[in-house]
Amino acid sequence: MTAEATVLPEFDLSTTYLGLPLRTPLVASSGPLTARIDSLRALEQAGIAAVVLPSLFEEQVDHEEMQADQMGDLHADSNPEATGYFPDLADYESVADRYLRHVDEAKKALSIPVVASLNGVTSGGWVRYARLLELAGADAIELNLYGVAADLDVTGREIEDDQVELVALVKASLSIPLAVKIGPHYSALGHQAARIIDAGADGLVLFNRFYQPDIDPRTRKVTSALELSSSAELRLPLRWTAILSGRVEASLAVTTGVHTGADAARCLLAGADVAMMTSSLLVNGAEHVATVEQELVAWAAESGYESVAQLRGSVSQRHVADPAAFERANYMSTLTAFTNSFH
């Protein structure tokens, strides 16, 4: 009797994120590679399933609008000859206009979904840009709530209420889906995540990576530096994805620390709908998307999975034999295991 070769069913990579059907769960997060049309094309060619454009920052929009107002006042106050010294506002392309043009050009250049990103924490005039980004053709909006709670008079509850209000405001202006990118620094992250979803977020992006200022002891100046992530940083979003998975009605995206196919597999096992990458693509180039996809498919074949849908969330907190492994118990066991191995 001859042994018949086992034909493995093809692994179905498809997923849905924010209601958008995607070919694979690999998405390029907001960053330099999504800022240019040539690198966006390279990402699509390498198989990326969707892209998030760099953020339009609240500060950029507010600052420019203030400048435009001031220039308008100057025109009004000066005599007709003097106005010739000032640039004509009609010829001036603002950062916001340039951003809207980038959305439009990205949509024309790509056939995959394009997510535009807004970055801010107040409910100021910049919020109307969500609607403009939709009109420019964005398939979804990612709202990045990057903030540092440095005001000692403001409570956590006040900050959280403001975030919820902002999400509801942005959502009300949109007919496309809204994802909200948050940081991990809340006293009760799960509760705030649920409130953000109740306010209208269709998905959560976990987590913002905080770049910490440093102090140069020689110059005594505050400095900043950006170090790219490593796979070790994946554990924080992984834990929270595993805790939220199956408990909230929203898409979950992991960002921070996805570098390999195994990393992407870990995100999906925890319950993510997509795994996002920036650092690994900056280090290895857009082609790295294809490598990560191949690694993910090889891992799935080895592990006996047939589809992303089948494996998603299978190691989330709701599905593991020991749910405490995602909570405080993990802290004690980690310390104990390390201490024992040290002797």
In the complex, which residues of this chain contact ligand FMN (CB under 6 A)? 29-32, 54-55, 117, 119, 144, 181, 209, 226, 228-229, 255-258, 277-280
Nearer to ligand FMN, 54 or 113 (CB): 54
Of residues 49 and 305, the one with the C-beta less far from ligand FMN? 49
Closest CB to ligand FMN among residues 278, 305: 278
User: Cα–Cα distances in Å, from 242 out to 32, 66, 146, 267?
Assistant: 29, 44, 22, 9
Cα 312 to Cα 245: distance, rounded to the nearest angstrom: 9
How far apart are CB 90 and ligand FMN at their closest, in Å?
A: 28
CA pair distance 232, 56, nearest whole angstrom: 29
Considering the complex, state which of residue 256 and residue 260 has its C-beta at the smaller distance from ligand FMN: 256
How many residues are listed for the chain in this entry? Answer: 343
- Residue 86: helix, strand or coil by DSSP? coil
Please, what is the minimum distance in Å from the beta carbon of residue 117 to ligand FMN? Answer: 5
Distances (CA, A) of 38 to 33, 109, 222: 9, 9, 35
How many angstroms from the chain centroid is the CA of residue 205? 5
CB of 185 to ligand FMN, least distance (A): 15
- Residue 178, token pair as written in the block: 């809204």
Q: Output the smallest distance, CB 101 to ligand FMN, in A.
A: 17
Write down the least CB distance from residue 279 to ligand FMN, Å. 3
Q: By C-beta, is 118 or 248 nearer to ligand FMN? A: 118
CA distance 61 to 48: 30
